[in-house]
Chain A
Amino acid sequence: MDFSIALILLQDGIVNGAIYALLGMALVLVFTVTRVIFIPQGEFVAFGALTLAMLVNGRVPGTAYLLPLLGGVVLVLELVRALRTGSWSALPRVVLTNAVLPLALLWLTTVYAGPDNSLWLNMLLALVLIIPMGSMIYRIVYQPLAEASVLVLLIVSVAVHFALTGLALVFFGAEGWRTPAFVSGQIDLGPATWSAQSLFVVGTCALLIVALWLFFGKTLYGRALRATAVNRRGARLVGISTTMSGSLTFTLAVAIGAMSGMLIAPITTVYYDTGFLIGLKGFVGAIIGGLGSYPIAAAGAILVGVLEAFSSFWASAYKEVIVFTLIIPVLVWRSFGSHHTDDEE
């Protein structure tokens, strides 16, 4: 291996690592606010990439049908709740966001979808199709289980992962897709030549991370989420709705997942089940950060990306082994810092 190969590998690693960092941060966010280890995050990566790929090819993506379907389930749940409690005041909004909006989007997609649309508009449409699913999934699956133990929430996440993987297979088929690059060209940066697409990915990730940081540091909603993360009961006592926090968190996490999928789609071929492993690598990064610290999670994710790039060069068959065993020394190292016996809450 010479220096130029090392540089290319490093570059690959940083690009992938940036995406893992984004996913890792979303996982940390969801975990701290809702105690859910959001394994289905990976499915939304695949949804994002494949919805965009379908739109680019002028087809109506299955996610356009999934959205009204999920919305319908939410509507039924909310109707049942309204019948039981007799409070109908929230219903108009529920109908608007879970029935009218998804159906309007479905109509828009069927009318709009065609082979020669702008990539950017396709991307926007794909995002709009996927992002509302976050709060829907939260409402359907997690909200009834808000007080359950971390274990139950974890297992339910795996069940959601199964269901969404199955749906992805139905909607997108078993073949893999790639999307065209958002930007083309090469840029010389010091000793290395970067493709503009790689820089675009890294730049977007950095931008999103800064945006998240600003959101959490400066906005009222961001602070509400942080308060919920520190102490759920305390947050509720000062008037922060944990349901709102959960819903918002899932929306953010799904948005991040879908965007990561779109960023990665021009670089690697995405299959219906690719998201899971990508999400898990984001996880490894997040675990390095102890599922609690954003900057360390981001650094950990970059490390995972670089390690993956180099191990795929030296021992490509053992690439996954190396990446996933990395977690164990990290856990050992972290375990020396903690001396508490933690009881389940």
Chain B
Amino acid sequence: MNNRILLIAFILLLAALPLVPATPEFWITQLNYIGLAAMVALGLVLLTGVGGLTSFGQAAFVGLGAYTTAVLTSQYDASPWLALVVGLVFTAGVAYLLGLITLRLSGHFLPLGTIAWGLSLYFLFGNLDWLGKHDGIAGLEPISLFGFSFASGRHIYYLIWVFLLLSLWATSNLLSSRPGRAIRALKSGAGMAESMGVNTASYKIIIFIWAALLACLSGWIYAHMQRAVSPSPFGLNYGIEYLFMAVVGGAGHVWGAVVGSAVILGLKDQLQNLLPKLLDTNANFELIVFGVLLILVLQYAANGLWPILSAGWARLTGSAGSRRNLAPPPEAPALPQRDRPQSGELVLDVEGIRKEFGGLVAVNDISFKVRAGEIVGLIGPNGAGKSTTFNLISGVLPATRGEVRFLNESINGRSARDIARRGVGRTFQHVQLLPGMSVLENVALGAHMRAEVGVVAGALHSERAKEARLLHEAATQLKRVGLGDYLYEQAGNLALGQQRILEIARALASDPILLLLDEPAAGLRYKEKQELAHVLEQLRTEGMSILLVEHDMDFVMRLTNHLVVMDFGTKLAEGIPSEVQQNPAVLEAYLGGIDDDLPGTDQGEPVTGSAQ
């Protein structure tokens, strides 16, 4: 509530500033530049801060927007608004092509690639005859709308800030929608997101285009504000500066873009004024001070200034820590469910799969079946190849040989995403959550493929009905696994055991037919284990098929209908739990040889102890 009041006050202040004649012209100019830069930095917040893709080349996109409108309006007498549309389409096309090429490699290749094409575009602007070479194009018309001309600084101010506020609104809408959750998973959980049915490659291209379009918009206004374009503001140094703004402001938050551009531009201006007086010299010290200040910011506030500001504000208004008491998301119609196979029908048929890593046979011709309404346990000592088998089934690793059939269709060589779409939900041996997101949002990511929401719908928030259904589904699954009290907690704050349970809820949210659980009970206390067992039993009675890798023998023995025991990549035994327990080969694998003293009816206690 307080935040909304603050936002409204901020907007009113912004709107009032140019109307007051006493406002110095310099302020308006400065705010205009801040607004234009914030638009570009906002794209970087989405691309770099949230999506984890670093671009030094945004200034070149600003240049594309500026030069497109300069050429169209000065040489072809087009309306600036038409030029804007052409510029956006053109920029989107260029960004799509560049993204297709460079986004395949993320990590450090992308920033280097963007440096390269940022430089190339800059030199291209400065060398093409029809773009006026290094002199650029001058004498552009101001933008006008219904006869109202945005010629003066005080008028174009409104154009800039209205566009910026709309961009901020759309971008933060996008981030809190279904596509937004997928985008937030790109940085640290891309592999996990693929297993939830998210097409990470296409989301990377989408945010790249989004950032490019914001830069193009900024360039369009810039060209008509300056009434001229020349290559220098679109060079690599400006590309770097935009990235600085995003990082200094707080690359993970949309408002960080505004704070960052205000701080950087204000700082540069002050340094240019102050330093010559302070040091009594005309030498160019501002670059040094600028660099040093940035190093300090990164060393002491690596997440930027916005988180510090907003945490201070939250403390001031006492709104911190109140997230836990929020009401769960409202009731909404349930999401459509898949047709489930009849109980006893064959769901998963693994036939002679084999995985070799060089000379090592990690999985040696393993075969087993999982039927609907059945819990199958896959057990074995450490290094037996259980997790590799899991990864072969879920499409994370390609099998060397053999076949995996799901609902009578071969899923060999399918991507993890495709397998997820067919109805296989999974959890991970090493918990893979998005620790900064709420528990509810993490689970809603699991329901990603159960509703189609496009980027535009997300940005305009026209998808709220679908979003409510997704969130309701996530909350339902969380309640079912016993995390109903933690909906708005940050996922990273949960205990490890709870995080494992959260992964199960996330898998359930995808409405799977087959659930692959990789050591779900590890790290749980006795009581929590019992509750988990209860949930799994309930799922089984509803017709769910579950394949379980687990070390806790009590848990496995009590729960499973069927057991597969592996050792050194080979299937050792298979059958109902009580039979497998008596199998001499199994006992030998687990206990290293059968002693006469050892009671055959032992419930596997030593294993529990040694394998945990």
Contacts and interface: CB of A to CB of B under 8 A. Distances in A.
Nearest to B251: A151
Interface of chain A, helix or strand or loop or mixed? Answer: helix
A194 B569 CA distance: 63
B225 interface: no
B284 interface: yes
Interface in B86-119: 98, 101-102, 104-109, 111-113, 115-117, 119
A148 B301 CA distance: 11
Contacts of A225: none
B115 A280 contact: yes
A280 B52 CA distance: 23
B101 A343 contact: no
B243 interface: yes
Contact of A328 (B48, B101, B106, B111): B101
A321 B124 contact: yes
A317 B127 CA distance: 7
Nearest to B49: A151
A291 interface: yes
Contact of A331 (B105, B120, B283): B105
Interface residues on B, range: 35 or more
A325 interface: yes
B73 interface: no
A283 interface: yes
A291 B299 contact: no
Interface in A295-342: 317-318, 320-321, 324-325, 327-328, 331-332, 334-335, 338, 341-342
Contacts of B119: 280, 320-321, 324
A221 interface: no
A204 to B, nearest CB: 27
Contacts of A169: 283-284, 287
A164 B292 CA distance: 10
A27 B45 CA distance: 28
B116 A159 contact: no
A145 B299 contact: yes
B280 to A, nearest CB: 14
Given A150-B108, A159-B294, A317-B127, A325 B116 contact: yes
Nearest to B113: A331
Interface residues on A, range: 35 or more
A116 B291 CA distance: 37
Contacts of A317: 123, 127
Contacts of B244: 155, 158-159
B288 A320 contact: no
Contact of B291 (A37, A148, A161, A291): A161
A164 B291 CA distance: 8
Contacts of B113: 327-328, 331
Nearest to A325: B120
B89 to A, nearest CB: 22
B190 A341 contact: yes
Contact of B108 (A144, A291, A332): A291
A173 to B, nearest CB: 9
A331 B101 contact: yes
A324 B116 contact: yes
Contacts of A95: none
A202 interface: no
A232 to B, nearest CB: 16
A166 B244 CA distance: 17
Contacts of B52: 151, 344
A216 interface: no
A320 B125 CA distance: 12
A141 B290 CA distance: 14
Given A165-B287, A325-B117, A327-B112, A342 B123 contact: no
Closest 4 CB pairs of A and B: A163-B291, A166-B287, A166-B288, A162-B291
28 contacts: A37-B112, A145-B298, A152-B298, A154-B111, A155-B243, A156-B295, A159-B294, A163-B291, A163-B295, A166-B286, A166-B289, A169-B283, A169-B287, A170-B284, A170-B285, A283-B112, A284-B116, A287-B112, A318-B124, A331-B104, A331-B113, A334-B109, A335-B105, A341-B191, A341-B200, A343-B187, A343-B189, A344-B188
